[in-house]
Amino acid sequence: MKRYTGFTAVLLLCIAIFTSCMPRTGNSSCTLRFSWWGGDDRHEATLKAIELFETKYPDINIEPEYGGWDGWTEKVTAQLTGNTAPDIMQVNYDWLLRFSKDGTGFYNLEELNDTINLDNFSDEILDYGRQNGILNAVPISMTGRSLFFNKTTFDEIGTEIPKSWDDLINLGKVFEKNKSYPLDLDIQSGYTAWYLSVVYGQQKFGKEFISQDGTLNFTVDEIAQSLEFYKMLEDNSVVRTVRQRVNDDGNDALYQSSVFIDGSVAGVLEWGSAVGKYETSLEEDNLVAGNLLFLDDCEVSGWFVKPSLMYAINKNTKYPQQSALFVNFILNDSECAEILGTSRGIPASSSAYKALEENNMLKGLAYESYIQINECSPVSMSPYMELSEMRNCYNSAIENVSYGMMTAEEAAQQMYDQMQKILAKYKDS
């Protein structure tokens, strides 16, 4: 009996020594929840990337949670408030203000820099993910909205992609003869109607709409002029009225709408990092990148740049090291980069960028938009501009002007007062 016990002890010791030499993640088996939003192209690529991760790290299981953008902020707000948020989250630019005003709302990623290779990112890029000096999130890519057009529709009508604001305005009457529209703008969560109006306004007035510190720089009159620009687009049949858009599409996203798929609405203002869902809605090569439009002699380009998306880790996760391992993988792993492609834009990670470059994957609409925005001396978007309460202000003003419920001046005054209250709340909290 004593001999057997001694043999067992030696055997266990040998097993311990052997297994200590085997490659491992340094963590026991666990399941991590990972959430993101996007279109089908992003979902499919991300699920394939997760499969690769689980193959490389079989002791870590990733439980995906994903959907569309509409309602996603509200869902995550409920999760964070109820302490039921996923371990790893794709987060939006303004969420650091919303959920981590003092910088402690998410895990400090610099405490995990032995696992997450932050050297692949410039200090300028990482600063977008800092709140109160603490690295809450790592930007996945930088992005801005560009104009994209259905080339087939333009060819059928016999006209060219616009090169100036005047060209765009004049297209309305040309398309109207064909019962079509050259562009779509909306008052959904993407607030593209106000976005394009403020791009125009920033060019016209030579200043930023909102500063990085949350200072509102537009006057009531300048807001009114920006709203009048939008109304001019409606009046010239460049875009549908808000009422007509609701009648045509209901609550459907444009890329799912029959009028976009059949070419009746032939243009969209979209983030370069998210344009893939529009490409897949149309036949191959139908969608092309348009020109960024400028006023003559404008001193401010007006077009925005911001982090498209960022990855953050739940500050209450039970598995910070395993979560960091997955974040490092999805940001920096070369094989993963090839799978994800440009589904989240052009990677900010130097290693992921190199992987796409070496595999001739830096092309297509996402890349064309990336180059456009980078080369136009873009305005760095304030995170305050992205707040959902601010979006509601923009959309309400556009809706009131579109329906004729308010003049541009009345809507601008209401919008100005509401925005100042919202900005004060976030800056004082």
What confidence score (pLDDT) does residue 366 get?
A: 95
Residues 355 and 63: beta-carbon distance below 8 Å: no
Amino acid present at 303: W
Query: pTM to 2 decimals?
Result: 0.90
What confidence score (pLDDT) does residue 28 get?
A: 64
Q: At what angle do helices 388-402 and 242-249 cross, to 10 degrees?
A: 110
Cα within 13 Å of Cα(219), Cβ side: 6
Tens of pLDDT along the chain (429 residues) come to: 334 444 444 444 444 433 333 334 444 699 999 999 999 999 999 999 999 999 999 999 999 999 999 899 999 999 999 999 999 999 999 999 999 999 999 999 999 999 999 999 999 999 999 999 999 999 999 999 999 999 999 999 999 999 999 999 999 999 999 999 999 999 988 899 999 999 999 999 999 999 999 999 999 999 999 999 999 999 999 999 999 999 998 878 899 999 999 999 999 999 999 999 999 999 877 999 999 999 999 999 999 999 999 999 999 999 999 999 999 999 999 999 999 999 999 999 999 999 999 999 999 999 999 999 999 999 999 999 999 999 999 999 999 999 999 999 999 999 999 999 999 999 886
Measured distance CA(50)–CA(56) in Å, rounded: 10
Smallest CA-to-CA distance from 144 within 374, 384, 353 is with 374
Amino acid present at 221: D
Residues 383 and 96: beta-carbon distance below 8 Å: yes
Architecture of domain 145-305+369-428 in CATH?
A: 3-Layer(aba) Sandwich (3.40)
Domain spans in the chain, listed from the N-terminal domain onward: 28-142+308-367, 145-305+369-428
What confidence score (pLDDT) does residue 25 get?
A: 47
Measured distance CA(181)–CA(154) in Å, rounded: 10
| Residue 141 Rama label (left phi>0; alpha psi -120 to 50; beta) | beta
Fold observed for domain 28-142+308-367: D-Maltodextrin-Binding Protein; domain 2 (3.40.190)
Measured distance CA(140)–CA(310) in Å, rounded: 5
Topology match between the domains 28-142+308-367 and 145-305+369-428: yes
